[in-house]
Amino acid sequence: MTPPENSNMRGLVVSIPPRYLPFALFNLKKIYGELGCQLPIEIWEVGNELNADAKKQLNAITDKIIWRNVAEFTQDLKHWQGFQVKAFVVAHSAFNEVLLFDADGIFHQNPENLFSDPEYQKTGYYLFRDLKRWVFEFNWWDRLMYKFNLRQPFKGNKFRNYAFFLERQAWLRRCLNNVKPSNFPAEWDYIWQDEMPKEPVIETYVDSGVVAINRSKRPETIKKLFDLNNNHPDTYKYVWGDKETFWISALMAGEPLTVNPKWAYEKDAEQNQAWKSKQNLICQDWNGQLFFTQKGVV
C-alpha cells in the first residue's frame, strides 16, 4: 500500500524493533481479524531493522500496511534509534489523525474507536496515564545533605535523589518559561513548590504506549514534541524516555490535551489468554473496558 494522499485520513502508526516482532504479529492479527479494524497502518523502521521474512509475515496479515522509514527524511539514523523515534514518526506520518502504539502491546478493543471519544474530538489529543506507583522518595541522606546545603553526585536511583529532583524541577520550569499553565496536572503541582516535599510524590504522569493525535489541530504540540525528543541526550536526563514529553509538549505549545482519567494498573495474565506473562501486565482501560496491555510474552 502506498502512503495516502488524503490529508484527512486516519491511521495506525507503529515502529517495530526486531525483538518485538512476535508481539506485532499477534497484535496485527488481532487488530485486523478479531477486532475488525479497517484503518491503514504505517510500520516504521530506522534503517533496515526487519528482514524480508519478517516483512513477508506481516504483509500476509493485511494489505493495509504502508512501509515507512526514518531514512526517507534523515541519514542520521543512529540519532533516532530508541524511544525518540515515536516523536519522529508522529511528526512525519502521512496521516492527519494518528493512533501511535508501542510494538510490545496488545489491543483488546478496536483501536480506531478511540477516535470517536468525545474528549479526543474536542481537544484532538488523547493520552493514557502511567502506573501511579512510580514516586520520588527521599531518604535520610538526601534530607541531611539538603539541610546542610551539601550537594553530592547522583548515586543509585537518581529518581530518589533530591539533588536530581531540583535539577528536574528547574528543567521543567525552563521548558514552560517559568509560568505555570492553567492545565498543568495537579499530580505534578510539587514542581512549582520551592520547599522540599515531605511525602513521596508521583514521578510519572502519562504513558506513551497508546497516543491519539490530530496533527492539523495540534501542530505546535507536535513541533515541541519533536524538539524535545530530537534533543533526547539532554531531555532524557530528566524524564524516563519519551513518555512525559507527550504532555509537556502540549503545555509548552499552549494547546489542550485529554488524559484518560483512570491510572494504568497491573494484573496477572489470565490462563486462557493467548500469551503468558513473566511479570504483571500493564493495563489501560478506555470506555469502561480493557483497551491495551503491555509487558506480556506472546
Task: Enter the pTM of the model.
Answer: 0.90
Per-residue pLDDT of the chain (298 residues; tens, 9 = 90+): 444 455 569 999 999 999 999 999 999 999 999 999 999 999 999 999 999 999 999 999 999 999 999 999 999 999 999 999 999 999 999 999 999 999 999 999 999 999 999 999 999 999 999 998 777 776 667 667 767 776 665 556 676 777 788 889 999 999 999 999 999 999 999 999 988 777 778 888 999 999 999 999 999 999 999 999 999 999 999 998 999 999 999 999 999 999 999 999 998 766 445 445 445 789 999 999 999 999 765 4
Q: Exposed/middle/buried for 139, CB within 10 Å: 0-12, 13-18, 19+?
A: exposed
* In the block, residue with C-alpha cell 511525602: 199
Residue 73 identity: F
The reported pLDDT for the residue numbered 214 is 98
CA torsion sign for 99, 241, 222, 81 is negative
On whether the CB atoms of residues 96 and 216 are closer than 8 A, the answer is yes
Name 294's Cβ contacts closer than 8 Å, sequence gap at least 6: 102, 104, 105, 106, 209, 281, 282
In the 3-class helix/strand/coil scheme, how is 122-143 assigned residue by residue? HHCEEEEECECCCEECCCHHHH
On whether the CB atoms of residues 44 and 13 are closer than 8 A, the answer is yes
State the DSSP H helix or E strand holding residue 225, giving kind and residue range, or none if neither: helix 219-230
**CB-CB neighbours of 287 under 10 Å:** 11
Closest alpha carbon to 156 in 139, 173, 177: 139
Closest alpha carbon to 245 in 262, 226, 258, 261: 226
**DSSP classification of residue 229:** H
Encode burial over 82-114: b for 16+ CB neighbours within 10 A, e otherwise.
Answer: ebbbbbbbbbbbbbbbbbbbbbbbbbbbbbbeb
Residue 20 identity: Y
On whether the CB atoms of residues 280 and 293 are closer than 8 A, the answer is no
* In the block, residue with C-alpha cell 489470565: 270
